Chain A
């Protein structure tokens, strides 16, 4: 997707969400299978969000969505789940690394939770 396509898509369906990346127990067990395993990759490439939010931006379950921050972007498979409206949830992994900026605000700790992102159906 080019930046102009992206800007156009933003006008039509985009909404700002708060990204909450975290760990899951399934992820913990899959580490033992391997971070290169298809199951682990599928898990870390899935975005969970409220069904109402998905309907609002025209995103169907199983559809790919582009999540974009000011630092980077990555595509995730969407699924509906128990997440408050206005928030999206993604398990930590290489795709979330692409969304993170390098600034630590002088703390040494990068911001990996609670920052605003755009979600656009692909």
Chain B
């Protein structure tokens, strides 16, 4: 398993006649997704818009997105991996027992119909949300879904795309990827990047108490991370750059108010399909930008003697400082 068969949202808008949302609730979490890119748009290849597209929703509960779906599949909680694996088998006409299907909370008729529709589509797209990646199975669920999308290309064009949340989280992954080769969970403490989720990822580092300071830019882990991680942020000197007062800024030793991206500060944000979008500030902000503050901090840190006893910077670091 590995790799992601994907496309841009522009291609989805122009061509996708079969769309599956899995473990996501776009009606509430991505309210413009339907209207801007997926089911409502009319295009050159799908001139009748909604009538030319089929939307399937897979979730463990009936969310507000159900109203927009043509087909709703209510999978049993924690059975996403099993369902994806069964679909992968059915797509390839492999044997699956009724007991195995019943375990997912769905029926053979429903799954056969889904597989038939997937194969009959001209351009299928699987969007997956945190209902898949934050339940039991986690990245294995996502990997299984990406594999399903890849394998569907033996029959028709099929792609997959994660439903990224919050502002510019995709940007953080993309930038880390092209700078280091890894998307997250990276340690620089040897002077070169090392990747190991579960060891160097933020939650794990905080929960184990490995770090003795934290620098947080435009995020609110104080309202989203597990309590043991929040407790460590309270114990250590935490510095926050954020336009707003947040739960994290309240527990931080230092909070520097910065201009809001796209409103008072320019820059680049990455859309969930990894397309960089320029941001033009509409208003002039009295606050500095995140970039300005980070540059000033870098300059101040660079002006100090290096932390090694002899005070000499290793050559591999000189380019980065």
Contact = CB atoms under 8 A, between A and B. Distances in A.
Contacts of B246: 35
A98 to B, nearest CB: 5
Interface residues of B, number: 45
Contact of B226 (A18, A83, A101, A105): A101
Given A34-B244, A92-B224, A113 B29 contact: no
Nearest to B200: A108
B134 A111 contact: yes
Counting contact residues on chain A (CB < 8 A from B), the size range is 35 or more
Most B CB atoms within 10 A — which of A25, A114, A115?
A114
A5 interface: no
Contacts of A98: 227
A22 B133 CA distance: 12
Interface string B137-151: 011000000000000
Contacts of A102: 203-204, 206-207, 226-229
A100 B196 CA distance: 22
B221 to A, nearest CB: 9
* Secondary structure dominating the interface of A: loop
A62 interface: no
Interface in A6-55: 18, 20, 22-25, 28, 34-36
A87 B77 contact: yes
B165 interface: yes
Contacts of B77: 18, 20, 87, 114
Contacts of B116: none
A105 B135 contact: no
Nearest to A114: B135
A97 B224 contact: yes
Interface in A38-85: 71-72, 82-84
Given A20-B61, A94-B247, A108 B185 contact: yes
A108 B61 contact: no
A35 B247 contact: yes
A22 B60 CA distance: 12
A93 B207 CA distance: 18
B25 A22 contact: yes
Given A35-B247, A113-B130, A114-B77, A104 B201 contact: yes
Most A CB atoms within 10 A — which of B61, B135, B222, B225?
B61
6 contacts: A28-B28, A87-B77, A97-B225, A107-B197, A112-B134, A115-B136
Given A23-B165, A89-B61, 7 more contacts: A36-B245, A71-B226, A97-B223, A102-B203, A107-B197, A107-B198, A109-B139
